[in-house]
Copies of this chain bind each other. A is one copy, B any other.
Amino acid sequence: MQPIRIGILGTGTVGGGTVKLLQANAAEITRRLGCSVLVSRAASRNLERAQRICGTDVHLSTDVMDVVNAEDVDIVVELIGGTTIAKEAVIQAIKNGKHVVTANKKLLAEYGNEIFALAAEHNVMLMFEAAVAGGIPIIKALREGLAANRIQSIAGIINGTSNFILSEMRAHGSAFQSVLKQAQELGYAEADPTFDIEGHDAAHKLSIMSALAFGTPINYTHCYLEGISKLESQDIRYAEELGYRIKLLGITRRCEKGIELRVHPTLIPETRLLANVEGVMNAVLVQADMVGQTMYYGPGAGAAPTASAWWLTSWMWRD
């Protein structure tokens, strides 16, 4: 069988992780797929870095369109992020009849409806497992694992930065600002942490899960948003005295007026599994009519976990 040829856009942390994973687990992947997978092309702003990562067999370019328009690429893996070049490249790849993998939750949350419609029109697959909860196969669970169920609600710890901060505040009684600084030093928080701590990242992910679970269009702009930056260590202490933990949850559920979407700090009884998810780990609790409650737990970020998610999607492309 012909190998599947991958074109990678962006060779940063996750791009590098993806190439490494492919090399390290080539035999395992080939055994499971029944054919091999190779990176035929890559686009990068830094050709020297790209060459170090990809070796000499990969055709490199600084122009994403060289990958997107190439004949020898079956699947485009978009690892650029943002909604400018990434959007253009994804749309052109779809128009060229190529399957697309992306972890770009911002792109999907904001332009997903348009992009999914285009993919359907061109009969290509648009896969995005890594866009939500990193290496946890939650997208697959929602799309396939619970396919027989009417999903009623989803509640998830889907932002590792916020969960790390809340876990540390509780464990050491520390103030928000000092833990944020620590998270920045550890690389768990960005220099500008707004996107994570004010709930935007969680809302992006939540709106994608909600659309999948309920079969509705992605509706990120209507999500209620409240972050964790106003929490003080005494809030967490009082909660603990009453038998609760505070977690930043993304919650979506069917209600009488339609679908509810909200991200905010939530009190959870300390005996619940969700309350015991600590540090940068993610967990998603799904309530469905037939199966009842199921929960999916794992690392929500990092090069290897995220790269792991690419390939679980690629497995489906076997014809």
Contact = CB atoms under 8 A, between A and B. Distances in A.
Interface of A: 21, 24-25, 28-29, 31-33, 134-137, 140-141, 143-150, 215, 271, 273, 276-277, 288-299, 302, 304-305, 307-312, 314-316
A269 B294 CA distance: 23
A242 to B, nearest CB: 19
Given A148-B29, A273-B277, A308 B296 contact: no
Contacts of A288: 308
A294 B135 contact: yes
Contacts of A296: 294-297
B149 A289 contact: no
Contacts of A143: 32
A140 to B, nearest CB: 5
Contact of A299 (B28, B148, B291, B302): B291
Nearest to A33: B147
Contacts of A312: 144-148
A298 B292 contact: yes
B289 A147 contact: no
